[in-house]
Structure 1
Amino acid sequence: MKAQSLRTLIVIALIVLWEALPRSGLVPELFLPSLSSTLAAGWTDAGEYGHALLTTLYEVAIAMLFACGGGILLGAIVGSLPRPRILIMPIVSSLYAVPLVILYPVFTVWFGIGAESKIAFAAIYGFLPTMLATAAGIQTIDPQLLLAARSMGATMSQRLVRVVLPAAIPTVLSGLRVGGALVIVGVVVSEMLISSAGIGYLISRYRTVLDSPHVFAGVLLVLALAIVFNAAIRLLERKAAIWQTGTRGAARDVASPALQPAT
């Protein structure tokens, strides 16, 4: 409760400073417009921002499907099989260290300057951390539990539901949080570079004419999108924690009889 109160006070202090510093002249309006003028600019052109937000949400949703869905699937396969893990993991880790934004011109050559290039770039941007986290989560599973479940006659689906998924969920969700955030970043950055629609395009367009209130109105929309995504991941973590607690006991029940003779 104390931490929550402290966070609330910090947010309130930031809001007050955002409004007070430009109004007092300590910070030029060109560098940081006041919060009231930023909200007024967004409200005045709410239709334009709403249309741009829908475009960005569409690109984020499709890219998230490929990045997170594909990353979890391929990460589970690579993490479960030793040979693909040895072959693929070093390559993926090396690619993750490369700033992928330098590859965006290649995506524009392949897919054009429309939504397709933004979706492809953001999907690749979020795919790598999701896959790495999922593969790492699979590798942290105690081999004795899998061996015990197999010796007790558990099917592949039973081992997946009762042992693998509960053990890997925390790491997978951490990778999903990072991968999803990078998808949002990838879409907005690609819109800022080459685009004619979306929140990133509006930010870039108003930046060229030095219209700081409209620029920060777009930034607030991106911030709100990131906050909503983070809240959704937190909700998934709470739901998964309940499910993991319930299934951990089942996994122990499966493992205990097989491990009893050894002890």
Structure 2
Amino acid sequence: MSARTLRHLIVVSLIVLWEMLPRLGLIPELFLPSLSSTLAAGWNDAGEYGHALMVTLYEVAVSMVLACGGGILCGAIVGSLPRLRVLMMPMVSSLYAIPLVILYPVFNVWFGIGSESKIAFASIYGFLPTMLGTAAGIQTIDPQLLLAARSMGATLPQRLIRVIIPAAIPTVLSGLRIGGALVIVGVVVSEMLISSAGIGFLISRYRTILDSPHVFAGVLLVLLMTVVFNAFVRWIERKASIWQTGTRAGQQAAGVMQAGAIPTAA
């Protein structure tokens, strides 16, 4: 049995258990409503959930750009400059160890209870792991690649875009996956704490009145967002595989050139 088939069987088994355990009374409906009742609750209030989903998607999209885009850029700069890396990495690592959720009341004071505070909180929540992952990946790059780029007169922006980020793409994508997932978590959690819109707000509101089907309908939407994001990252990995192939070819070419230069110098 292939791994893909086994994964599909596990997913189908979980779906069947989700439907049957509450139906058979083995798990109280208050703790886990059946899948059919969860889907019915979401369908009956599709308009409300659709509006909340649009709010959450907007906040997630803006936070992704700020957190992942900024994290990859800053991580590439910090990782490629040794002095800046020695200065910044210990500070960023220490900051990442702090549970940032305790700072959310500060964001509410600064930005209010609207989307701005959620975007600011989620952006910082996802920025740090993306930056750390990118900076760590930069340190694994073959120095010969950077030396060849500098010898050909490449500027720092050109080295970042054409050499550094492509060469570190596996680690960059790992940081992107973690940072993006934390962005979604940050937005939903902030909506659950203090908000008047979004999926997190609906989950928190229905939780207070013990309406489990509506709570799990919101949870399903959050799960759907994470699945779509993970599929998007996998698509980027497939598209970026040509960069990794090109980087390996460049390393081999640099090695051949270096080997050929040794006898000449001798």
CA distance in 2, matches of 1:164, 1:85: 15
Q: Report the 3-state secondary structure (helix = DSSP H, G, I; strand = E; otherwise coil) of the residue aligned with 1:101.
A: helix
Establish whether residue 105 from structure 1 lines up as the match of residue 105 from structure 2.
Answer: yes
CA distance in 2, matches of 1:23, 1:184: 32
CA distance in 2, matches of 1:212, 1:258: 66
Identify the range of structure 1 (252-261 vs 175-184) with the bigger mean alpha-carbon deviation.
252-261
* Counterpart position of 1:4: 4
For the Cα contact (< 8 Å) 2:76–2:164, is it kept in 1?
Answer: no
* Counterpart position of 2:204: 204
- The Cα of 1:166 is off from its aligned counterpart by 2.5
Establish whether residue 30 from structure 1 lines up as the match of residue 30 from structure 2.
Answer: yes
1:77–1:124 CA distance, 2 compared to 1 (3 A):
same
Any unmatched runs of 5+ in structure 1?
none
For the Cα contact (< 8 Å) 2:144–2:254, is it kept in 1?
Answer: no
- The Cα of 1:161 is off from its aligned counterpart by 5.0
Q: State how many pairs are aligned.
A: 262
For the Cα contact (< 8 Å) 1:79–1:136, is it kept in 2?
Answer: yes
Q: TM-score, normalised by structure 2?
A: 0.94
- The Cα of 1:198 is off from its aligned counterpart by 0.1
Identify the range of structure 1 (200-209 vs 133-142) with the bigger mean alpha-carbon deviation.
133-142
Q: Report the 3-state secondary structure (helix = DSSP H, G, I; strand = E; otherwise coil) of the residue aligned with 2:28.
A: coil
Residue identity matched to 2:239: K
1:107–1:197 CA distance, 2 compared to 1 (3 A):
same
* Counterpart position of 2:134: 134
Establish whether residue 155 from structure 1 lines up as the match of residue 190 from structure 2.
Answer: no
* Counterpart position of 2:240: 240
1:122–1:235 CA distance, 2 compared to 1 (3 A):
same
CA distance in 2, matches of 1:216, 1:28: 14
CA distance in 1, matches of 2:106, 2:159: 42
Residue identity matched to 1:128: L
* Counterpart position of 2:53: 53
Cα RMSD after superposing both structures: 1.6
CA distance in 2, matches of 1:107, 1:65: 19
Q: Report the 3-state secondary structure (helix = DSSP H, G, I; strand = E; otherwise coil) of the residue aligned with 2:168.
A: helix
* Counterpart position of 2:96: 96
Q: TM-score, normalised by structure 1?
A: 0.95
Identity of aligned residues (%): 77
